[in-house]
């Protein structure tokens, strides 16, 4: 199924094609360190953690305490989970199937 949403753009196509060339986590660190600020990367990682915790039916209080996310960020991620393009759901399902999580990689 081809994406036909409002963000479709040739420059974004090029960015996403570049991301798809990355072969492992180390290459992701190299690329994303160059293309994003530390704050941008931390914000994206935080949103993914929030999405995972929302899918686990964790409370806003728990999520905020564990991730440091504001209630506004938690609400935005929840809105995306419920009414967005299903990107979070796609990625979280794949990570779950592949057994990839922070705990799995860090041995925790």
* Per-residue pLDDT at 107 exceeds 90: no
Q: What pLDDT score does 34 carry?
A: 98
* Per-residue pLDDT at 106 exceeds 50: no
In this prediction, residues 73-94 reach a mean pLDDT of: 97
Q: Is the CB of residue 69 less than 8 Å from the CB of residue 46?
A: yes
pLDDT classification of 101: cutoffs 50, 70, 90: low
Q: Return the ∠ at Cα 57 (arms to 79 and 72), rounded to 5°.
A: 40
């Amino acid at each position: 199924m081809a994406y036909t949403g409002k963000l479709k753009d040739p420059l974004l196509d090029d960015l996403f094609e570049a991301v798809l060339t990355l072969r492992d986590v180390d290459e992701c660190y190299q690329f994303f360190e160059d293309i994003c600020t530390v704050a941008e990367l931390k914000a994206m990682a935080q949103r993914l953690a929030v999405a995972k915790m929302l899918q686990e039916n964790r409370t806003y209080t728990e999520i905020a305490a564990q991730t440091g996310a504001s209630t506004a960020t938690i609400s935005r991620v929840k809105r995306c989970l419920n009414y967005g393009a299903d990107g979070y759901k796609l990625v979280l399902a794949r990570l779950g199937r592949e057994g990839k999580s922070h705990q799995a990689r860090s041995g925790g």
